[in-house]
Amino acid sequence: MNQWTEHVVWWHVYPLGFLGADTTGQDRTPEPRLRNLVPWLDHLLEIGANGLALGPVFTSSTHGYDTIDFFTVDPRLGTRDDLVYLIDEAHSRGIRVMLDGVFNHVGREFPALVSALADPTAPEAALFGRDSSGAVTNFEGHGGLVAFDHGNPDVADLVTEVMNFWLDAGADAWRLDAAYSVPNAFWATVLPRVRGNHPDVFVLGEVLHGDYTQIVAEATLDSVTQYELWQGVWHGLQEVNLHELNWALTRHNGFLETFVPYTFIGNHDVTRIASQIDDERHHPHALVLLMTLGGMPSVYYGDEYGYRAIKEERFGGDDAIRPAYPVDAAQPVTAGLEVMALHQQLIGIRRRHPWLHRATSTTSTVENASLVYTVSGDGQSLTVAINLGDSTLAVPGTGTLLAGAHSTQSGDGLSVGAHGWAITEA
């Protein structure tokens, strides 16, 4: 992994939603919306982030994941020039940009697929997977998403060309959508060819389950999405079962031995963290965990203001978790300022302790409602205490209190009050 990734904190944006584009397919009127993201780059920096992780920006039929053309920007967002302008403006502020590569499947309007469906003997037909009946293979039952045949070298050539094309235009990184549905051998064919032209590129695979370490190694990825930790965090806090979270920390340590996972408590595919955890007193704890554990953290837009929204399994069920932001980035924000301040404080601590990137944790106390762990790296350490209970948690011999809630320091340790938390430095 390249050195710049050791210091990156991502701000993750779903552009079509953030910029107020219609995602039903009814209104595809061209509009240079990507330029409206530029004023928000200063907000990204204000949070403490320095990476912009963009959702799909390429021409698609509806939500961005049903691609029509990998080489053009979706007209609802603008043109190639608009995307390059955004990337250049980001770079001028020291911000890296990650694009979303949807290379497992395409939409029904993808020209090669249209040709293949019209004539099964057409050369384009070989690009797509087929089931036992000869029908094209859909992605996870979605009829509008048709999977590539990743055993076809022409598909590998296409993906390599697309990745290099946009890296040549200035992108710094790629997220590989649904990487878990693509054979590891496919990525192992493509990525070395991409890195041959762009050795500093960072490549993240979207992976939900499985042996993350094996997938990273076999696919030659730099990292994968750490869904196990996300599950452990929100579920452990919601159910007041920190034993579950502690098991996720053990697994997380194992991954950190070989790669640095992409960590998050929210993204464009899941219910907002503030809606996952019923007890508002425990919302800060999720962010404390994200920003003190090893990994490459990402903040999903809106989470920095404590947005709430529930993902629903229906048409349009993602709309609530992919909302529009104000067109005017200078528009005063009056709600969620306390959550924003907490993001700034905790990301600030992470910035002052860059070794947290690869830090591993050691648990000293774990009960259903309390967890105390020490994160260590480069000869330094922080101790983190989480208290979900109604009684005070006593933490002996901790050190200097860096941040906390309902926490006080005494001569022989730290007292973390009911539903509080604390971060100390030895």
**Does residue 333 have a pLDDT over 90?**
no
SS (H, E, C) the chain: CCHHHHHCCEEEECHHHHCCCCCCCCCCCCCCHHHHHHHHHHHHHHHCCCEEEECCCEEECCCCCCEEEEEEECCCCCCHHHHHHHHHHHHHCCCEEEEEECCCEEECCCHHHHHHHHCCCCHHHHHECECCCCCECEECCEEEEEEECCCCHHHHHHHHHHHHHHHHCCCCEEEECCHHHCCHHHHHHHHHHHHHHCCCCEEEECCCCCCHHHHHHHHCCCEEECHHHHHHHHHHHHCCCHHHHHHHHHHHHHHHCCCCCEEECCCCCCCCHHHHCCCHHHHHHHHHHHHHCCCEEEEECCHHHCCCCCCCCCCCCCHHHCCCCCCCCCCCCCCCHHHHHHHHHHHHHHHHCHHHHHCEEEEEEEECCEEEEEEEECCEEEEEEEECCCCCEEEECCCEEEEEEEEEEECCEEEEEEEEEEEEEC
Residues facing residue 60 across a β-bridge: 67
Tell me: the pLDDT tens digits for 382-393? 999 999 999 999
Tell me: the pLDDT tens digits for 306-332? 999 999 999 899 999 999 999 888 887
Task: Please give the pLDDT value at position 330.
Answer: 84
**Does residue 399 have a pLDDT over 90?**
no
Domains of the chain (ranges, CATH numbers): 3-358 (3.20.20.80)
* pLDDT band at residue 412 using 50, 70 and 90 as cut-offs: confident
Task: Please give the pLDDT value at position 332.
Answer: 77
Return the amino acid letter for 303: D
Task: Please give the pLDDT value at position 13.
Answer: 98
Task: Please give the pLDDT value at position 411.
Answer: 75
Task: Please give the pLDDT value at position 132.
Answer: 87
* pLDDT band at residue 75 using 50, 70 and 90 as cut-offs: very high
**Does residue 105 have a pLDDT over 80?**
yes
Task: Please give the pLDDT value at position 423.
Answer: 97
**What does the block give as tokens for 264?**
């998050």
pTM: 0.97
**Does residue 1 have a pLDDT over 60?**
no
Chain mean pLDDT for the chain:
96
Task: Please give the pLDDT value at position 130.
Answer: 93
